[in-house]
């Protein structure tokens, strides 16, 4: 089996190994692949692994040998799954590998905002504390989370992990979820009756829902107007969940205390993205998923997915089931391009 990894760098910039893949076949690894190079690099591949490289209908039309696409992520919108099914191509993803890493980033942003860790470090280094007459120095508010309301949109693996951490901080959890009120109550979570209730009551609002036509710009000017001026928005989900200009306006006009985001609509962003210069907006470059531990789980599950496919028992399949894979004889070589 010929295996081609088309954009390896973000998942594995060199601190992990692709060697386990070589037990399944001949492997070629490319750090990055431009759209115009996808077909040429994958022309002899039985299986390709991708993170953000798009595998479109046109690409599949040009790759008659291709039988498997493994997405190195949970989201799989980079693959035309309907076309893959018509071509007899199995598409898999890697679910739940980064749950705790993303939940940790939610609170990294939240604690940085409520305790002003980065700001006070700057103040100390600039001499503000050294020149202070008192034993301590503070010039921006510090906020205790205990007793506050954590609003969550989407109580899947990550949303549930965030809820548990919030509860450990003494927060009340209010959520918009497809789960029943009874099921959420058993978890100590109150189900919101509407987005209006969720946005108006939340002291912190954290987004963990899929990106769909219904959730695009879920956070818009109208809903931001419902939020408390002391509230905080955290987005580690998908960039398009938020109307970025509306959020920037709310921050700049003091109608929202702060925001912490790890995802943007355009990645990497243009320099004129309104959130980059917005007041009290902390931005990390889509790295909530990228701890070494999470990436190691990602690669391990990706290899397990491909092995299961080769053995005729595919797992984590995200399109309609296809025919069994062709029998192939593995060649144990790995080439990095």
CB 154 within 8 A of CB 209: yes
Q: Please give the angle made by the CA atoms of 17, 19 and 20, to the nearest 5 degrees.
A: 105
257 is catalytic: no
**Angstrom distance (rounded) from CA 205 to CA 254:** 17
Query: Closest by alpha carbon to 57, among 36, 29, 80?
Result: 80
Q: Encode 57-92: b = buried (16+ Cβ within 10 Å), e = exposed.
A: eebbeebeebbbbbbbbbebebbbbebbeebebbbb
Tell me, yes or no, if 238 is annotated catalytic: yes
332 is known as an active-site residue: no
Q: Of 32, 54, 190, 286, which is the active-site residue?
A: 286
Taking residue 139's Cβ as centre, other Cβ atoms within 10 Å add up to 10
User: In the 3-class helix/strand/coil scheme, how is 238-254 assigned residue by residue?
Assistant: CHHHECHHHHHHHHHCC
Identify the active-site residue in 41, 109, 223, 238: 238
Catalytic residue among 58, 222, 266, 267: 267
Catalytic site residues?
238, 267, 286
């Amino acid at each position: 089996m010929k295996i081609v990894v088309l954009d390896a760098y973000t998942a594995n910039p060199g601190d992990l190994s692709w060697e386990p893949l070589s037990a399944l076949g001949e492997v070629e690894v490319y750090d990055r692949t431009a759209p115009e190079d996808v077909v040429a690099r994958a022309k002899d591949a039985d299986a390709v692994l991708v993170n953000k490289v798009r595998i479109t209908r046109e690409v599949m039309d040009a790759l008659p040998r291709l039988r498997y696409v493994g997405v190195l992520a949970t989201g799989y919108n980079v693959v035309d799954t309907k076309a893959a099914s018509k071509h007899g191509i199995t598409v898999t993803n890697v679910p739940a590998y980064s749950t705790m890493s993303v939940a940790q980033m939610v609170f990294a942003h939240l604690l940085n905002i409520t305790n002003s860790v980065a700001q006070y470090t700057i103040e100390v280094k600039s001499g503000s504390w050294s020149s202070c007459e008192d034993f301590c120095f503070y010039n921006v508010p510090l906020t205790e989370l205990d007793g506050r309301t954590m609003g969550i949109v989407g109580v899947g693996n990550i949303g549930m992990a965030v809820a548990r951490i919030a509860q450990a901080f003494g927060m009340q959890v209010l959520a918009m979820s497809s789960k029943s009120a009874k099921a959420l109550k058993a978890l100590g979570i109150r189900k919101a009756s509407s987005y209006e209730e969720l946005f108006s009551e939340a002291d912190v609002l954290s987004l963990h829902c899929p990106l769909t036509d219904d959730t695009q710009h879920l956070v818009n000017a109208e809903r931001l107007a419902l939020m408390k001026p002391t509230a905080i928005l955290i987005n580690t989900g998908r960039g398009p969940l938020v109307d970025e200009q509306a959020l920037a306006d709310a921050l700049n006009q003091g109608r929202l205390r702060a925001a912490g985001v790890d995802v943007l609509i355009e990645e990497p962003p243009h320099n004129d993205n309104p959130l980059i210069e917005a007041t009290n907006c902390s931005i990390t470059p889509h790295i909530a998923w990228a701890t070494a531990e999470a990436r190691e789980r990602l690669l391990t599950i990706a290899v397990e997915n491909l092995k299961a496919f080769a053995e005729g028992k595919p797992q984590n399949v995200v399109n309609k089931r296809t025919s069994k894979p062709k029998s192939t004889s593995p060649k144990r070589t790995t080439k990095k391009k």
